């Protein structure tokens, strides 16, 4: 009873030499030609995800102290273009859009900040659509490879003149055909997880940019307009 079940089986049953996968490369080879686009999809997904993970760091989008440096630039009468060139990050570009329109009213400042913010959010989401496409395409490529493999498997059995051994031929063909389906899912599932992770990071950074813009408008537009002396109507205009 201590012997394993596989130890009691014949060698030809326990480890069929034509079916056993010796390595990852053998696994890929048995998948057929559809493994090539699947491999390309995986490489593209890794490249896009790595680039977005580096770009979407908070220190790159909203560095610490950016609001204080913006306040200092305004107090020093530094122009918006100089501040934008000195900082070179999305938060600075959003604040610089507001700096350019200081003194033009709340609506004008908010409109320009909103337009620049939308542009920066679009830039942060760049590349995420590629991950969505890979998530949708990879399983379809795997299914296509499986269908091609099944066609080859049944064709092999149909063209075989031997009565015996057809079940083994069919089983081996189906085994090879299912590899592409597994490969497609192995590409699509991690890509989907990466997409949602990066989309969540973009959403969080967008929320922080919005709070930064609101703080800018409150401090440099609303408060200054409240502190400004009320203008008395011109007596000549009432005549």
The tens digit of pLDDT for each residue in 125-162 reads: 988 999 999 999 999 999 888 888 888 777 776 776 55
CA angle at 87 for the pair 82 and 93, rounded to the nearest 5°: 80
Instruction: Look at residue 189 and tell me whether its pLDDT is greater than 80.
Output: yes
Tell me if residue 23 falls in helix, strand or coil. Answer: coil
Q: Among residues of the chain, what percentage have pLDDT more than 70?
A: 74
CA-CA distance, 238 to 18, in Å (whole number)? 102
Q: What is the mean pLDDT of residues 219-236?
A: 57
Instruction: Look at residue 1 and tell me whether its pLDDT is greater than 80.
Output: no
Model confidence at 103, in pLDDT bands (50, 70, 90)?
A: confident
pLDDT digits (tens, 9 = 90+) for 57-86: 988 899 888 888 888 888 888 788 888 888
What is residue 166's predicted lDDT score, i.e. its pLDDT? Answer: 61
Alpha carbon of residue 106 to chain centroid = 35
Lowest mean pLDDT among 15-29, 53-67, 103-117, 120-134: 15-29
Tell me if residue 44 falls in helix, strand or coil. Answer: helix
What is residue 27's predicted lDDT score, i.e. its pLDDT? Answer: 65
Using an 8 Å Cβ cutoff, are 33 and 179 in contact?
Answer: no
Q: Among residues of the chain, what percentage have pLDDT more than 90?
A: 27
Model confidence at 168, in pLDDT bands (50, 70, 90)?
A: low
CA-CA distance, 200 to 193, in Å (whole number)? 11
Model confidence at 223, in pLDDT bands (50, 70, 90)?
A: low
Alpha helices (H) in the chain, listed in sequence order: 11-14, 24-30, 35-55, 58-61, 66-75, 80-87, 90-100, 106-124, 128-159, 166-217, 223-227
CA-CA distance, 147 to 197, in Å (whole number)? 33
């Amino acid at each position: 009873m201590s012997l394993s079940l596989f130890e009691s089986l014949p060698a030809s049953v326990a480890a069929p030499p034509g079916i056993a996968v010796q390595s990852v490369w053998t696994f890929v080879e048995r998948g057929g030609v559809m493994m090539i686009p699947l491999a390309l999809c995986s490489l593209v997904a890794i490249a896009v995800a790595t680039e977005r993970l580096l770009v979407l760091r908070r220190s790159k989008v909203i560095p610490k102290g950016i609001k204080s440096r913006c306040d200092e630039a305004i107090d020093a009468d530094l122009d918006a273009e100089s501040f934008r060139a000195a900082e070179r990050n999305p938060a600075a570009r959003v604040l610089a859009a507001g700096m350019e329109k200081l003194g033009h009213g709340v609506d004008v400042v908010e409109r320009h900040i909103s337009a620049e913010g939308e542009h920066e959010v679009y830039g942060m989401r760049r590349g995420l659509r590629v991950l969505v496409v890979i998530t949708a395409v990879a399983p379809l490529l795997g299914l296509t490879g499986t269908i091609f493999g099944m066609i080859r498997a049944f064709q092999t059995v149909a063209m075989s003149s031997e009565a015996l051994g057809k079940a083994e031929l069919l089983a081996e063909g189906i085994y090879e055909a299912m590899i592409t389906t597994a490969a497609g899912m192995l590409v699509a599932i991690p890509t989907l997880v990466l997409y949602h992770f990066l989309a969540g990071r973009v959403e969080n950074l967008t929320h922080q940019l919005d709070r930064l813009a609101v703080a800018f408008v409150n401090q440099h537009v609303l408060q200054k307009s409240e502190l400004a002396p009320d203008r008395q109507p011109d007596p000549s205009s009432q005549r």
